[in-house]
Chains A and B, each alone.
Chain A
């Protein structure tokens, strides 16, 4: 098989792509949300269905609200462990049988946990959809959480917690989140802590599953090469009989705005060849009217090779190889991060340069040309992030799950278009009052 790329993209660059989820839609460019069929079943489950015949691939994604935010106190890591255990066996199939069925026809079945939800994905060619759809349904609805797999899965997570200390960006980012959020949900690592993971039991998993994996707490999206009517009928048949359940506990976690009252500096010492640094602020949730303004700010400030940070820190000063910003979309108080990877002795210089770039925008604003470039850049990236059926299914389900409705895919460009230079100055004043400076250096 060919080697994908010798120049492995740094995880650093993937983070903004994976979590920040910039969205910007221009309906003239491709099939849009008006072709989406939304059905809410009597039991509260939401279905979003969209035909797309540009390839012979079908993507199904199930979103379950909850994630790390829903973990009870002292149970850090429960969301991740529950998600992993979904694929470890059902009342009808062992893990071996699940994956023999799926992989024998070349399909993919996988899951991922996020701070605000969990998701289970299925990707298949149209011709083999009938074979694998029942398996995907089975892992969602009938997991058995086999005790035999629970021990090894916890063991794997414990090893991963240890291994994650070798990812230096992740280390400093974790330190930043812990400093900002303390023991609140977003301050916890996705994998949990060693002692909490060790203590999780099968009963914990069943409790969590019964509380959150229920119809009115789930969104299911299907995008791809199928007839919408047929898919809709099939999904109704699959899920309409589900009982309403006892109702998901609506977590209040993260609803209150988190603010800093002073600048904080934290540092980690490790053997390292470079200094890994983050300068970040608390930032508003996805539902805030300021959300599109900060998305545009993050694009101007730290996205792409013509962004302010890239221009100043790399092109002008040659201080760093990697620099940029990201602003993850969250249900509760999020964070706006600027990062730089410099020579060990130049972390302070990088910090001053980041603060200078922010001051320049706050005081001098940005040019109309820069504004237009930022908006166009978002538009182009948006198109690229909607290229595959899996990406399209993700966008629809994600917006719906996060409570802003799948139509956000269409609404968002208008919101971005309305952002002004003055708006950018104002959000800097509003949110960039005090910062956290986190570094990992020798």
Chain B
């Protein structure tokens, strides 16, 4: 450890402030972090975003659908995810088992993900086979057959998947959070569904779901990579262009009308065969529509847990053994009001002390604020990470597809850096006070069976 005089330290500090500002202005001056896509609207209403780039000769074709578990109810819960599994099974033109083989035979791979607000399907493959990826994605969304025998098999597979996910304590405590934080809003429904609701789902449900939600005006197709845009557009028109235009589906109402602060402290505790406490402290958070608040909460999360200069790392983790890993602050931008929360994994005997330490960090920002230097460092971190995650073609496709679907406009992704740069210290304190009360929070706790502690 070096010893440094006060003077050299203050020189260092001013140098760092300069560096942070310098870096931030450089980031602003650099060409757009997310490239502006070439946009097309097909006659049937499908939005197409093309992002040709230079580099390795591969491409990602990513189809985003505005449908997820938020469009379900307790009886058909799990339908969106089950549907996603079934979509790669078979079409009128491709017998069962051939889709994966076709893609992998040319060196590509397929995958998909279902969430609350969306489902997306993507194919990554060498650019020379781009047409195949487009053709397959169009085929599965137009001509899937949902064979009954495969449906029964896939139901079993999904039950294995749910069991496997529940076995992971981190995933399980997040399920506890979402299922108990919301009382009415469909965000409370588990994305994978429940055993009982999965048993109810029939082939007819899939056909109805496809008819209702997989309509061109409810989807965005993104192609990102080193590819020929003319060829891509021609193939998209020849395939997706043949889809029938249909009205956009209904979507749930904006959410539970309630004040931004939680009315009371609540707690959900589950004990299991685990060796640590898995703790979440959560508050309400705005939807994607509140852009300014989204920027401020993203910055707040970074100030709290972005890297080794963040507050939770320095004050709760670094020189202590209160928690087993650096704690995290999370806020997810979603279509409807969502959740802001702190997550930590800790030795059970530290429960009370660790919880107080986490809450203390929020209190300090509320009461004492933060310096411009700290804010600027957080801005630089967010924007650099944004640049790193958009270094890959798939990163770019995901960013654009995500915001096109969740925010309803892909430009959110392009404007994001500017939005982050405009946030002030006061705005961060304001959003913190609006949503967070350190006395009133929702707590989800998964802890070892032998532990009796945690009365909170």
Contacts and interface: CB of A to CB of B under 8 A. Distances in A.
Same complex: yes
Contacts of A379: 107, 126
A7 B380 contact: no
Nearest to A165: B275
B107 A305 contact: no
A90 B107 CA distance: 45
Contacts of B274: 166
Interface stretch (B37-45, B109-117, B210-218, B227-235): B109-117
A163 B119 CA distance: 32
Given A3-B334, A5-B113, A383-B56, A273 B106 contact: no
Interface string B142-172: 0000000000111011111101101111010
Contacts of B110: 305
A148 B298 contact: no
A104 B321 contact: no
Contacts of B56: 29-30, 383-384, 386-387
Given A95-B308, A342-B160, A152 B105 contact: no
Interface stretch (A113-121, A123-131, A179-187, A430-438): A123-131
A275 to B, nearest CB: 9
Interface in B346-397: 346-347, 377, 380-385, 387-388, 391-393
B245 interface: no
Interface stretch (B12-20, B257-265, B427-435): B12-20
B76 interface: no
A163 B346 CA distance: 8
A149 B22 CA distance: 31
Nearest to B288: A2
Name the interface size band of chain B. Answer: 35 or more
Given A99-B307, A315-B97, A342-B160, A57 B321 contact: no
Contacts of B402: 2
A270 B333 contact: no
Nearest to B399: A2
Interface stretch (B198-206, B312-320, B437-445): B312-320
A197 B30 CA distance: 46
B47 interface: no
B196 interface: no
Contact of B321 (A29, A152, A166): A152
A159 B350 CA distance: 12
A144 B1 CA distance: 6
Contact of B23 (A54, A105, A158, A384): A105
B325 A104 contact: no
Contacts of B393: 387
Contacts, number: 255
B57 interface: yes
B377 A2 contact: no
A380 B385 contact: no
A321 B161 contact: yes
B239 to A, nearest CB: 22
B324 A93 contact: no
Contact of A270 (B53, B273, B388): B273
Interface in A309-345: 310-311, 314-315, 317-322, 341-343
Nearest to B225: A387
Nearest to A160: B324
Interface string A1-34: 1111111101000000000000000000110000
A107 B384 contact: yes
B154 A380 contact: no
A304 interface: yes
B252 interface: no
A103 B374 CA distance: 11
Given A99-B307, A103-B381, A152 B107 contact: no
Greatest chain B CB density within 10 A among A1, A91, A123, A314 is at A1
Contact of A381 (B20, B109, B113, B380): B109
A383 B308 contact: no
A96 interface: yes
Contacts of A273: 163-164, 166-167
Interface residues of A, number: 92
A381 B377 contact: no
B251 interface: no
Contact of A274 (B167, B306, B382): B167
Contact of A304 (B53, B109, B153): B109
B301 A1 contact: yes
B105 A108 contact: no
A2 B321 CA distance: 31
B77 interface: no
A57 B388 contact: yes
A73 interface: no
B357 to A, nearest CB: 14
A3 B402 CA distance: 9
Interface string A165-180: 1111000000000000
A146 interface: yes
A373 interface: yes
A105 B321 contact: no
B296 interface: no
Contacts of A380: 58, 104, 106-109, 124-126
B55 interface: yes
A148 B107 contact: no
B160 A376 contact: no
A377 B275 contact: no
A273 B160 CA distance: 9
B343 interface: no
B54 interface: yes
Nearest to B169: A166
Interface string A259-284: 00000000000111110100000000
B197 interface: no
A350 to B, nearest CB: 10
Contacts of B107: 376-381, 383
A152 B319 CA distance: 6
A35 interface: no
Given A318-B156, A387-B56, A95 B318 contact: yes
B325 A160 contact: yes
A407 interface: no
Given A10-B164, A97-B12, A386-B56, A159 B157 contact: no
Interface string A366-398: 000100110011111101101111000000000
Interface string A32-53: 0000000000000000000000
A103 to B, nearest CB: 5
17 contacts: A30-B56, A30-B57, A99-B307, A105-B380, A148-B319, A152-B321, A159-B325, A163-B275, A163-B325, A318-B157, A320-B157, A343-B160, A369-B105, A373-B104, A379-B126, A387-B58, A388-B392
In the complex, the 3 A-B pairs of residues with the closest C-beta atoms, listed nearest first = A380-B107, A106-B384, A271-B273
Given A1-B331, A90-B2, A321-B161, 14 more contacts: A6-B114, A91-B2, A96-B309, A99-B307, A103-B381, A105-B19, A105-B380, A106-B380, A125-B30, A162-B276, A274-B163, A311-B97, A318-B152, A380-B107
Interface of A: 1-8, 10, 29-30, 54-57, 87, 89-97, 99-101, 103-108, 123, 125, 127-128, 131, 144, 146, 148-149, 152, 155-156, 158-160, 162-163, 165-168, 270-274, 276, 304-306, 310-311, 314-315, 317-322, 341-343, 369, 372-373, 376-381, 383-384, 386-389
